[in-house]
């Protein structure tokens, strides 16, 4: 399958899940903002492989994350919010991968690299969804500074992992 199709499917799932979450609670203003975010994602999809698609995809991800955050604040359906997050991250990753793959477009290994990336992305998204479900059911009490410290450690660990992968 094509990465452009996967991007469209992931973006559509993210927008549909958010629309459903806001629609169930009849928060129409939030639903209309989600439609706007979806239009930005559609613009990114139609302009894929062009230089100005980066900002559209970044804006799409930021919009999805903000609407998920606002939805969590409003106690919307947690499973729909998690589905939107996982799908939104998948769409963003596919666009970034597509931009990175442009350098290898004429290479024989680009198809193998694409298959491998899609396989790893699928596993990562599935693992993230499972972890999100576990976190939704396991409640622990930690303070703000403890959570902040754990978040900083996680960011540092991920940035170190990314540097190792790039080498």
Please count the structural domains in the chain. Answer: 1
**In a domain? residue 28:** yes
Rounded to two decimals, what is the model's pTM? 0.72
Q: Which residues contact 42 (CB under 8 A, 6 or more apart)?
A: 11
- Domain range holding 29? 3-138
49 phi and psi, to 5 degrees?
A: 75, 20
> Each residue of 103-159: pLDDT tens digit?
666 566 777 777 777 777 777 788 777 877 777 777 778 888 888 888 788 777 777
**In a domain? residue 161:** no
**In a domain? residue 41:** yes
**In a domain? residue 150:** no
CA–CA dist 108, 86 (Å, integer): 31
Coil, helix or strand at residue 25: coil
**In a domain? residue 63:** yes
For 75, left (φ over 0), alpha (ψ -120 to 50), or beta? left
């Amino acid at each position: 399958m094509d990465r452009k199709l996967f991007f469209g499917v992931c973006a559509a799932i993210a927008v549909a899940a958010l629309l459903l979450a806001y629609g169930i609670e009849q928060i129409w203003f939030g639903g209309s903002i989600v439609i706007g975010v979806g239009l930005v994602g559609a613009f990114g999809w139609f302009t894929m492989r062009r230089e100005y698609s980066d900002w559209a995809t970044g804006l799409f991800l930021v919009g999805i994350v903000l609407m998920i955050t606002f939805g969590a604040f409003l106690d919307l359906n947690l499973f729909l919010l998690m589905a939107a997050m996982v799908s939104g991250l998948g769409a963003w990753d596919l666009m970034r991968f597509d931009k990175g793959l442009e350098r290898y477009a004429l290479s024989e290994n680009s198809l193998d690299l694409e298959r491998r990336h899609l396989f790893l992305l699928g596993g990562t998204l599935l693992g993230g969804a499972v972890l999100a479900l576990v976190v939704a059911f396991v409640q622990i009490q930690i303070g703000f500074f403890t959570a902040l410290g754990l978040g900083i450690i996680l960011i540092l660990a991920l940035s170190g992992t990314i540097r190792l992968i790039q080498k």
